Amino acid sequence: TTNLREKMVATRRQTKKANPHYEFGGPIGALGIVIGLPAVCYGLVLTCNERHCVSLDYDSIAGIPSLTLPSGTVLFSPEACAVFLGWMAWCVVLHLILPGVEKQGVKLANGKRLTYKLNGMSVFVVTLGVVAHGVHQGWLDLGWVHGNFLALLTAGVAFAYAMSLALYLNSFGKGEEKGGGKLLAKGGDTGNHIYDFFIGRELNPRIGSFDLKVFCELVPGLIGWLLLDLGFAHKQFTATGAVSPAMGLVCAFQALYVADALWFEPAILTTMDVTTDGFGFMLVFGDLVWVPFTYSLQARYVLERPVALTPEFLALILCVKALGYAIFRGSNLQKNWFRNDPNDPRVAHLTYLPTKRGTRLITSGWWGIARHVNYLGDWLMAWAWCLPCGFAHVVPYFYVIYFGILLVHRDMRDGEACQEKYGKDWDKYCAIVKYRLIPYVY
């Protein structure tokens, strides 16, 4: 412990001299996010539940400070902690014992490529099979998650804080790099403990060949999110004898999103989360808490506040979803095909800008429309998730508002990284592909 403390102090002194580049408002912003994200998760339940939900009128907004949770709400329980830990253990065991494909990641700063075992879809299918069997046989009450939602949230928050702290402390331990250290993320070794804890210090923390970041990125959070959705649907079915069209749409749309992400799991290896960002509180909390407990808001809303959809409005929602998915999946497939083989007949017709780095930037097809046209598709799908909630309250639209802000920020981060990476070639590319996310708008 003394040696660890000395290493942390020495690292802080050494790195401070380098004038580190901060994001997210620096250490103060990082501290605010570390405290604020859990508060938002609890706040979404406080401001919208089966007893009340905030709307845009003045009286509703003015009454927020006096809101209370419904009577009988459980904030913490040993049972919920056991369920959350059991869920994490279940995902780990399935990941380890089920077969999977092995894929190499991108070349890292040390010149190495890590090998990843990917079997998220297998974990997904086995889990759904077991859950379906348990519900059918009567020994699994999936609707239990609704009455214990906040207790599960508390367990997840505590787990995320503990895991983030363990990862941060472990990043000062011995590794395979020169000098015996770990391979650190470029932006996660600033020497400021608060900021580095938040952004993630070590790039690819592993236990043997088990990559913690890639595992958490897709498996427990995404599948857990869908199980919460299905739990709310099961609760509605047991209470009313049917699943409403609104609930059916939300669950179907989000199930497609989860299945799509797991089917195309190898694509995650080239994302900024894996190649650039360290594994700290930002990703740990986002993967394990933020995704399942905030993305399931719409399913919880239509359970607690049933919404009737006209056939015309239902058709509109389906069209928004179809358009969003076509843009999202079409653009990502086009990018992956081109990256793997520019002469592939499916993408051989695309024009591109050659760069001094030897890579090519696509300037036509989906990627000639906007630099991050896939983000536009993702955002349209977010609208399709929220629209089944109707327009009586604003809280169920939290996701589409937050996600729009997130995508703009992510686009800005990507733009800065590409400017540094490509230099003047990036300026040429931006002159050709003028729009960032939405054609003729932004």
| Tens digit of each residue's pLDDT (9 = 90 or more) over 416-429 | 889 988 999 999 99
Q: 3-state class of 104 per DSSP?
A: strand
What does the pLDDT look like over 275-318, one tens digit per residue? 999 999 999 999 999 999 999 999 999 999 999 999 999 999 99
Residue 352 pLDDT: 93
DSSP state of 118: E
Q: Are 231 and 142 in contact (CB under 8 A)?
A: yes
Q: Which amino acid is at 128?
A: L
Residue 433 and residue 426: Cα distance in Å, rounded? 10
What's the N-to-C CA distance of the chain in angstroms? 51
Hey, what are 287's tokens? Answer: 């993967």
pLDDT of residue 17 exceeding 50: no
76-102 pLDDT, tens per residue? 999 999 999 999 999 999 999 999 999
Task: Report helix angle 398-422 to 424-432, nearest 10.
Answer: 130
- Is residue 115 classed as helix, strand or coil in its secondary structure? strand
* pTM of the shown model: 0.90
Banded model confidence at residue 1, pLDDT cuts 50, 70, 90: low
Q: For residues 26 and 190, is the Cβ–Cβ distance under 8 A?
A: no
Q: How far is CA 198 from CA 73, 175, 230, 245, 277, in A?
A: 30, 21, 32, 40, 11
By the 8 A CB rule, do 318 and 387 touch? no
Round to whole Å and give the CA distance between 45 and 47: 6
Range of lowest pLDDT (13-27, 51-65, 105-119, 220-234): 13-27
pLDDT of residue 178: 59
Residue tagged 């938040």 (tokens): 198
**Is residue 430 within 8 Å of 371, Cβ to Cβ?**
yes
Show the CA angle centred on residue 213, arms to residues 397 and 284, nearest 5°: 45
CA torsion angle 329 330 334 340 (round to 10): 30
CB 162 within 8 A of CB 173: no
What pLDDT digit, counting tens, does each position of 170-192 carry?
A: 999 886 665 567 899 988 999 99
